[in-house]
């Protein structure tokens, strides 16, 4: 049986730590959870996971990050890995970026910060159900 992963991308370590706790509680170790502090790091992790034959199921990404914004990251990922479910978790995305991500990266869910744990977990679960 192959391993499956959820990748979270946010430039704020505190957000990643919160996401790690929430994902562990919700999925009880069923999925490998990976975390990146930038889009560049996320792309490196994706390559490494693919080399290790880990199936990346969901990416939860912030929008406003240094270097590459979340919409650009999700679009880039979708072009290469269209099967990955994309979720944007942010407090600062503009409407154009959200719409661009919906149309060009098949954005599954947009959740505003501060998020409600149940809302995020349900968005991830509904994305997984579509796989």
Query: For the segment 6-30, what is each residue's pLDDT rounded down to a tens digit?
Result: 999 999 999 999 999 999 999 999 9
Average confidence (pLDDT) over 47-52: 96
pTM value? 0.96
Which segments of 52-116 does DSSP mark as H helices, in order?
70-80, 95-105
What is the overall mean pLDDT for the chain?
A: 95
Structural contact between residues 128 and 85, judged by C-beta atoms closer than 8 angstroms: yes
d(CA 102, CA 71): 9
Sheet containing strand 107-112, strands side by side: 32-36, 4-9, 55-61, 85-90, 107-112
Name the pLDDT band for 1 (thresholds 50, 70, 90). Answer: low
- CATH code reported for the domain at 6-129: 3.40.50.2300
Closest CA to 127 of 56, 63, 64, 70: 56
Average confidence (pLDDT) over 59-84: 97
Query: For the segment 99-130, what is each residue's pLDDT rounded down to a tens digit?
Result: 999 999 999 999 999 999 999 999 999 999 98
Domain boundaries, the chain: 6-129
């Amino acid at each position: 049986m192959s391993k499956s992963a959820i990748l979270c991308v946010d430039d704020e370590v505190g957000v990643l730590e919160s996401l790690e706790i929430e994902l562990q509680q919700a999925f009880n170790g069923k999925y490998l959870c990976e975390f990146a502090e930038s889009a560049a790091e996320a792309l490196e992790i994706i390559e490494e996971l693919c080399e290790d034959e880990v199936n990346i199921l969901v990416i939860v990404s912030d929008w406003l990050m240094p270097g590459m914004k979340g919409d650009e990251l999700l679009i880039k990922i979708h072009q290469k890995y269209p099967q990955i479910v994309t979720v944007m978790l942010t407090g600062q995305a503009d409407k154009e970026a959200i719409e661009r991500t919906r149309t060009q990266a098949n954005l599954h869910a947009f959740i505003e910060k501060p998020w409600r744990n149940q809302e995020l977990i349900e968005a991830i679960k509904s994305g997984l159900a579509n796989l």
